[in-house]
Amino acid sequence: MRSSQVVNSEDVSADVINLEGGTIGHIEADHVQLDQGGSRSIIASEVEMNRSTVFSVTGDTVHMVQSGAIAAQGEQVEMEGGNALSMIGTSIEMKSSRAGVVLANEVNFENSSTLILLARDVKGNVHTTLDTRQAALAGLVAGVAVGMVLFVGNLLSRRR
């Protein structure tokens, strides 16, 4: 599918999808290329996004340039100048980008930031609020705090 006009469609399946502008609800294809487009979800082997937005993208290879995603997942995920709420992959590369949660075996950062980073191998310049150790500690502290609140609440309800 090739389009230079605004496309508003719910579901599209094809071998190759090239979308220039417009939106498609759900895309399934071998290769997807979005340029200034949008989609609710994409499932493909290869995904290339340029100045586009997607709610959820899943692919073997996902490459996003000045694009945004709520969730990006793949074997190899690359983001340049973009934003994502969550990124999950075997190998993630971020250049001048921001993400809420990054979960990967190998991460390569260049002037990027994350809120929570869980990775085995980290390379490059990254600013993170919680790294792997801090996230584990925060989870432990939150679990103890919730447990104590429930315990005290249980004690108070027994007295009545």
Within a 10 A sphere around the Cβ of 136, how many other Cβ atoms?
12
pLDDT (mean) for 14-24: 82
Q: How confident is the model at residue 160 (pLDDT cuts 50, 70, 90)?
A: low
Determine contact, residues 39/24, Cβ cutoff 8 Å: yes
68 vs 11, residue with greater confidence: 68
* pLDDT tens-digit series, residues 69-113: 999 999 999 999 999 999 999 999 999 999 998 999 999 999 998
Q: Which two tokens stand for residue 87?
A: 């990124």
Query: Taking the CA of residue 129 as centre, how many other CA atoms within 13 Å lie in the half-sphere pointing to its CB?
Result: 9
pLDDT (mean) for 132-140: 76
pLDDT at 9: 59
Find the range with the poorest average confidence among 27-41, 70-84, 130-144. 130-144
Amino acid at the residue 23: T
Kindly tell me if the per-residue pLDDT of 6 is higher than 60.
no
The share of the chain scoring above pLDDT 90, in percent, equals 48
Query: Taking the CA of residue 156 as centre, how many other CA atoms within 13 Å lie in the half-sphere pointing to its CB?
Result: 6
